Structure 1
Amino acid sequence: MKKFILIIFSFVVLVSCEKELNLAPISQVGSNGFFENTNAFTQGINGVYASLGVTGSQDYPSYYVILDESRSDNIYSPGQSGVRDWNAINNFSSTLATLGTINNIWNIAYNGIMRCNTILDQLVENGGVISPAGLKAQYEAEARFIRAFLYFDLVKWFGDVPIFDKFVSPTEALEIGRSPVTDVYNLIISDLEFAIANLPASFSGADQGRATSMAARGILAKVYLTKSGPKLHPNGPCVASGEYDKALTLLNEIINSGQFSMVDDFESIFDYNNEGNSEIVWDLQFISGGVGAGGYYPTEYYDEGWARVNLPFAGGNPGDGSKRISEDLLNSYDDADLRVEPTFQLNYVGDSGDTIDAKFYDKFMDKDFAGGDRFDWSLNYPILRYTDVLMMKAECILQGASGSQSDVDDIVNNVRARAGLDPISDINLDVLLAERRKEFAGENLRWDALVRTGKVLEVMQNFKNTEDSAEKLEEIKADFIIYPIPQKQIDVKKGLYTQNQGYK
């Protein structure tokens, strides 16, 4: 059901020279006659989706694990030797600008954006060849959806970023500086509104996994939630716009569509035999056995010692590089919570028969579905779940959007009931965040929720005070709400970009 991502985006040539901004394909694809029929545009739009798949030795969701989950209070991975990128990120180091992870995600996101821009430019020039005619608007909407999705990640990670709304060459890119977050949001919102108006509510068969109008509504609701958050950083993703009612309207449209529902069994949401279930609003597609089609992100979670005795291939986090679940997160669960067992691996039997204390996520792993190697997991990655839609609705209400306390309590208690827990009442924002944390542990949503609610500095300072036994975490300050601009980008042209405050 997820074949469309496998078509090769053959006409894209990526810039790799370190002396140039790695922002765009260098081939002028329109001049060689590639886009001369519907099939060429179909290959092009499939290549846009491929930018969210496997790139080099990782896939796009791997960066959520490192940049979001490892940054949050869900993971404690100080690393005594400190050689892994996620150790420095976990430790709030001020010297992240030279990390490969930071540079790679910038390049991956902008190359994806330039793929989108290539399609959009060619739709203007040659879109008349597409048949049926309605497919042209759909392809434009899909390209604009992915562009908005990537820009939203860039804003959350880097704050002010350069805007490219059409194909540009690397030379032209050298003249385009960073734009304010509010300007980037204007492009994101425009793109997602177009996607809502021009995409179907669902796809089926081989097209399942393409962007839909419901997915666009959900992402746009997250945009409004984030944009509305308190402005703790002068160039951060939250600008205190107070647009919670706009987010609520979009979330209610998803809810009232009747298209989605909470599944009864929490574990079945992530079952390899149950992909595309009623809980999934939008996910990234992976399939085992195809070249560059399987996912790597599950490998980001587990320890290599566990892999040696449980998998037919090597991989996982080595030694003190383990992305260990924080005691703070584990202690937040009730003993009766049905989500603990399918979310965590707390120990395993090692090579010598000893029981190893582990504490890593196994929500996305099933040994019976291990592919040919550590890059070949077939489980789709959930970007937006229906339960998230419901809990974002509760968040909007608590932030002042229309709705009642009973609406909030009902949403949270439905989630708790599935987890085997008793109902609670008078839920406030802190309680909602605690409930979200347990529901979405390992899904890389915690950091974003802390940032957009303005709780991030308080929560992470408490985490440092109570969890940092290795005394590796640096000062928790507003500067670190976003990441540094990659040093390679700073060095390309003096004065084009200035570094984000607080980074060396």
Structure 2
Amino acid sequence: MKKIFFLSTISAVILMASCKKDLNQVPISNSTTATFYKSPSDFLQGANAVYADLHNYPVRLLNMSEIRSDNIYGVSVTVRDWDPVNDFSPSLAANAYVTEAWATDFNGIFRANTLLDQIAKNGSFIGSALLATRLQAEAKFLRAFYYFDLVKYFGKLPIIDHPVTAPEANTINRSSVPDVYKLIIADLQAAITDLPTSYTGVDVGRATKYAAEALLAQVYMAKSASNYGIEGPGTGSNEWNLALPLLQDVINSGQFAFNPVYSSVFSYTNQSPTTNKEAVFDVMYTSGISGSADLYGASFPWTLAPNTYFLSIKDTKSNGSLEIIPVSNDLANSYAAADTRKAFSLYTAGYTNAGTTEIRPFFKKWLDITKIPTASRFDWGINYIAIRYTDILMLKAECILHGAPGAQGDVDAIVNQVRTRAGLPSVSGVTLDQLFDERRREFADEGLRWFDLQRSGNLLTIMNAWIAKEDAQKAIKPVVANYVIYPVPQTQLDAAPGLYSQNPGY
């Protein structure tokens, strides 16, 4: 397994440190961009630094998509950072998760801009036009990846497509969502043209043409969805027919495959992208690097699992969340008795710690208690599949149901492939509502649910019906259209007072 070397947030305009996926790399010291980019390895390290800001991406998905959705009923005894996310507080601007999302994604964007600028200015030092083109395409893919993540959370964004100083950044206002999408789409179209279809050796795991195609399809689909009357990720553009050929090209490539065993998709012994054919694009981690667990290892496996569970099995390294973040009864009860995904994804057996018994279920999809790290709870050794082949298939079905070329039989075949793997009988005449219902169970604990709800056009109806049924403590506020996206972080409003207006409702 390879690693993503995560770096603390720094100004990528001034400093560039390194992030290496191969195991024998040593980070460079603080070099200025003016003196750093002088050899091919410098540019490779610069590219790896852009990948580094993916390190917290899966944790963010779980905290801001899974917890926000009807998959979690997260009312805590002591107010935690996830509570206002789960209960739709209008006072989220200073929330740690919201602040991290904006800061980390933009740090990745700044690093990508720096790399692109240096390739333009000093690309002759790379020595290979082919490598220069590939690194440029990787930077554009990642810049698009970070901007797409941001637009789904925040709507309008400042468009920064070149290196800027901090004072300059404080003069750039937010642009409209359609304009943000123009940059994302242009970057991905360029990446598709110039990225290789596969890699060998230490480069395995970098963005490929097929990862870029899959991401662009997701962009068109998010853009096509309902706008809910706000300036969020949906624009009602109805571009499902643009997404479908991209998804089909990934399918036709032959490089990826539907794993017939659900648990194997998430196995710690099936981590290489060359063997795990479900992985179209991974965020990669490696455990056991002495003194560097926070840089190389993963923490997302326990993000939605409670520390008290780990204590109950005599693990004392404080793995797990401060309190239980329970799976909603609605989700737990939605699994058919024969559905094998429930037992794999949800811990439902209950446990006792310090004389207290907990019976509420929690997510455990990414946990293997035989693989608990010995050094640090931040050092789990499993990759996060950011783009999964099963998702490609189900997104294809979604496009067809929205009128893109294809037949009902194609949709049914995809859904039944997923259901058969889960031990369920076949169905026919699958509707969009049924497709999203199946997606909810298939991708539970993978951080997709909130974005699926955004795209479904039924987010408000589904969430408010769920609240009425689930919220016995009356802790969750009614969901209104403004809550489809998050507020602009208070740190950004304070950095340049008057530059940004807050998203309505916050």
Which residue in 2 is equivalent to 1:313? Answer: 317
Residues 177-201 of structure 1, C-alpha deviation per residue, up to 9 Å, x if partnerless? 0000101100000111111111111
Which residue in 2 is equivalent to 1:272? Answer: 268
Which AA in structure 2 matches 1:289? Answer: G
SS class of match (1:350)? strand
Which residue in 2 is equivalent to 1:182? Answer: 178
Of 48, 64, 69, which aligns to 1:67? Answer: 64
Give distance in 2, aligned partners of 1:181 and 1:354: 49
Which residue in 2 is equivalent to 1:368? Answer: 370
Which residue in 2 is equivalent to 1:256? Answer: 252
Task: For residue 27 of structure 1, report the CA deviation from its aligned partner.
Answer: 4.4
Unaligned runs of 5+ in 2: 17-30
Which residue in 2 is equivalent to 1:145? Answer: 141
SS class of match (2:361)? strand
Which residue in 1 is equivalent to 2:24? Answer: none
On the 8 A contact 1:25/1:111 being kept in 2, the answer is no
Which residue in 1 is equivalent to 2:500? Answer: 497
Task: For residue 80 of structure 1, report the CA deviation from its aligned partner.
Answer: 4.2
Q: Are the structure 2 counterparts of residues 61 and 355 from structure 1 closer, same or farther at C-alpha, using a change threshold of 3 Å?
A: same
Alignment of 1:61-460 (within 5 A): 61-81=58-78, 83-275=79-271, 276=273, 277-290=276-289, 291=292, 292-310=295-313, 311-319=315-323, 322-351=324-353, 356-371=358-373, 372-460=375-463
On the 8 A contact 2:230/2:481 being kept in 1, the answer is no
Unaligned runs of 5+ in 1: 16-23, 54-58
On the 8 A contact 1:26/1:170 being kept in 2, the answer is no
Moved more, 258-267 or 343-352: 343-352
Alignment TM-score, normalising by the size of structure 1: 0.93
Task: For residue 206 of structure 1, report the CA deviation from its aligned partner.
Answer: 2.1
Give distance in 2, aligned partners of 1:404 and 1:375: 46
Which residue in 2 is equivalent to 1:2? Answer: 2
Residues 420-442 of structure 1, C-alpha deviation per residue, up to 9 Å, x if partnerless? 11001111000000011111111
- Corresponding residue pairs, total: 483
On the 8 A contact 1:347/1:355 being kept in 2, the answer is no
On the 8 A contact 2:350/2:361 being kept in 1, the answer is no
On the 8 A contact 1:339/1:439 being kept in 2, the answer is yes
Which AA in structure 1 matches 2:446? Answer: E
SS class of match (1:400)? coil
Alignment of 1:14-29 (within 5 A): 14-15=10-11, 24-27=12-15
On the 8 A contact 2:351/2:359 being kept in 1, the answer is no
Residues 284-331 of structure 1, C-alpha deviation per residue, up to 9 Å, x if partnerless? 000002311001111211111111133351131233xx2110010011
Q: Are the structure 2 counterparts of residues 210 and 99 from structure 1 closer, same or farther at C-alpha, using a change threshold of 3 Å?
A: same
Give distance in 2, aligned partners of 1:73 and 1:415: 22
Q: Are the structure 2 counterparts of residues 348 and 80 from structure 1 closer, same or farther at C-alpha, using a change threshold of 3 Å?
A: closer
Q: Are the structure 2 counterparts of residues 203 and 427 from structure 1 closer, same or farther at C-alpha, using a change threshold of 3 Å?
A: same
On the 8 A contact 1:288/1:377 being kept in 2, the answer is yes
Alignment TM-score, normalising by the size of structure 2: 0.93
Task: For residue 233 of structure 1, report the CA deviation from its aligned partner.
Answer: 3.5
Moved more, 358-367 or 392-401: 358-367
Could you list the runs of 4 or more consecutive aligned residues of structure 1 that deviate by over 6 angstroms after TM superposition?
A: none
Moved more, 441-450 or 354-363: 354-363
Give distance in 2, aligned partners of 1:203 and 1:470: 52
Task: For residue 129 of structure 1, report the CA deviation from its aligned partner.
Answer: 1.3
Which residue in 2 is equivalent to 1:19? Answer: none
Moved more, 87-96 or 256-265: 256-265
Task: For residue 131 of structure 1, report the CA deviation from its aligned partner.
Answer: 2.7
Give the CA RMSD over aligned residues: 1.6
Task: For residue 278 of structure 1, report the CA deviation from its aligned partner.
Answer: 1.0
SS class of match (1:302)? coil
Task: For residue 352 of structure 1, report the CA deviation from its aligned partner.
Answer: 5.3
On the 8 A contact 1:272/1:379 being kept in 2, the answer is yes
On the 8 A contact 1:13/1:26 being kept in 2, the answer is no
On the 8 A contact 2:38/2:122 being kept in 1, the answer is yes
Moved more, 241-250 or 28-37: 28-37
| % identity of equivalent residues | 44
SS class of match (1:274)? coil
Give distance in 1, aligned partners of 2:47 and 2:392: 27
Which AA in structure 2 matches 1:99? Answer: N
Which AA in structure 2 matches 1:208? Answer: V
Which AA in structure 2 matches 1:213? Answer: K
Q: Are the structure 2 counterparts of residues 222 and 347 from structure 1 closer, same or farther at C-alpha, using a change threshold of 3 Å?
A: same
Give distance in 1, aligned partners of 2:349 and 2:400: 40
Give distance in 1, aligned partners of 2:360 and 2:316: 19
SS class of match (2:157)? coil
SS class of match (2:403)? coil
